[in-house]
Amino acid sequence: MKKIYSYSLSAAFVAALLSVSSVANAQDNSEVTVKDAAVATFEDLTLAPESHWAGPADNAVEVEGSWGSKNMVGTFKSGSYEFVNSFTPAWSSWTGCSYSNMTATSFADYKTDQWNSAAGHGAEGSANYGVIYGSSTPNEQMEIIKVVDGDAEGRIIKGMNITNSAWTVECVKNGNGSAHKFKKDSWFKVTFTGVKADKSTASVDYYLADYRSTNEADWTCLTDWTWVDLSSLGKVVSLNVSFDGTDKGSYGLNTSCYVCIDNVGCEKNVSTGITANKWNSVELREVARYTIDGKRISAPQKGINIIRMSDGSTRKVVVK
């Protein structure tokens, strides 16, 4: 983003961050000054043209990882949020959140193209954007975002812009390596789970690719930036990310578990840009309804119904 947005909100941020290794649980009851929330645009992070950053963070500490690896786990900050990054020097690999300004929208080489977005730029035509690489274990949550500059009550994250990575699109449309090209009934989603100060949680799902419709014209794979409403999570102190989908193998999901993010904490009407107007002008409506086990239904059915909205988001409702 080229502009830094801030909003005056009555809800408060956490008083003290959890440690990167999530071992600090003591509550800070001291008086703090709550600051206005600044949207994380990633434009306050420096990158050379056509480049990316994937760790390790300046504040990284060594953490014992799986398979005997030593991971350097830390955070970087944009706006009023910190983003968790885990870098493994021995393998030159990373998980969590990185950031990029790559403009290519294709995927061919893992070593360079995993930071390419499907859109080729940040939201609203900006340069920088975040790239999340999560766990391939279905529904395994990974802490990605921490809210800062506030007290222990947490704050409502209004929403954020998201799009697919170029690698995910390649998996969906063509298949790649162990990933299979999508066909009818295939789907891939990201779940944002808000963690409250009392450790309770709430979640919002978004289908990054959805081929469940009987009408092929309704099959979707996100390639533009769109806004996801996270306000239903309520006040949170951190945000976890997980993935799930139909293409699974012996080691979990075959579809690459990436999603690109921008403008974390923004409201829907952040500007009058073309991208924002495209999505803001569409009236939100129900486009499909499913049972909890994924069977499409034509009318409300007793129990939990999963409703897919016209913006790609989903809602869980209980029909009595």
* Angstrom distance (rounded) from CA 317 to CA 304: 6
The rounded distance, in Å, linking the Cα atoms of 48 and 220 is 33
Instruction: Read off the amino acid at residue 203.
Output: S
Structure tokens at 23: 């071992």
Q: What is the pLDDT of residue 301?
A: 83
Residue 274, amino acid: I
**Beta-carbon neighbour count of residue 197 at 10 Å?**
17
In whole angstroms, give the CA distance from residue 15 to residue 12.
9
What residues contact residue 216 under an 8 Å CB cut-off, 6+ apart?
184
Cα angle value 122/127/128 (rounded, 5°): 70
Q: What is the pLDDT of residue 210?
A: 98
Number of Cβ within 10 Å of residue 113's Cβ equals 17
| Distance (Å, whole) CA 231 – CA 87 | 31
Residue 145 contacts residue 82 (beta carbons within 8 Å): yes
What sign has the CA pseudo-torsion 105, 107, 110, 112? negative
Kindly give the parts of the chain with pLDDT less than 50: 1-34, 269-283
Per 3-state DSSP, the chain is made up of helix, strand and coil in percentages (nearest 5) of 10, 40, 50
Positive or negative, the CA dihedral 56, 42, 107, 143 is positive
pLDDT score recorded for residue 136: 96
pTM more than 0.85: no
**3-state DSSP assignment of residue 122:** coil
Query: What is the phi/psi pair of residue 227, to 5°?
Result: -95, 135
H helix intervals, 1-134: 110-113
Determine the 3-state secondary structure of 307 from DSSP. Answer: strand
The C-alpha atoms of residue 244 and residue 253 are separated, in whole angstroms, by 7
Structure confidence at residue 272 (pLDDT): 31
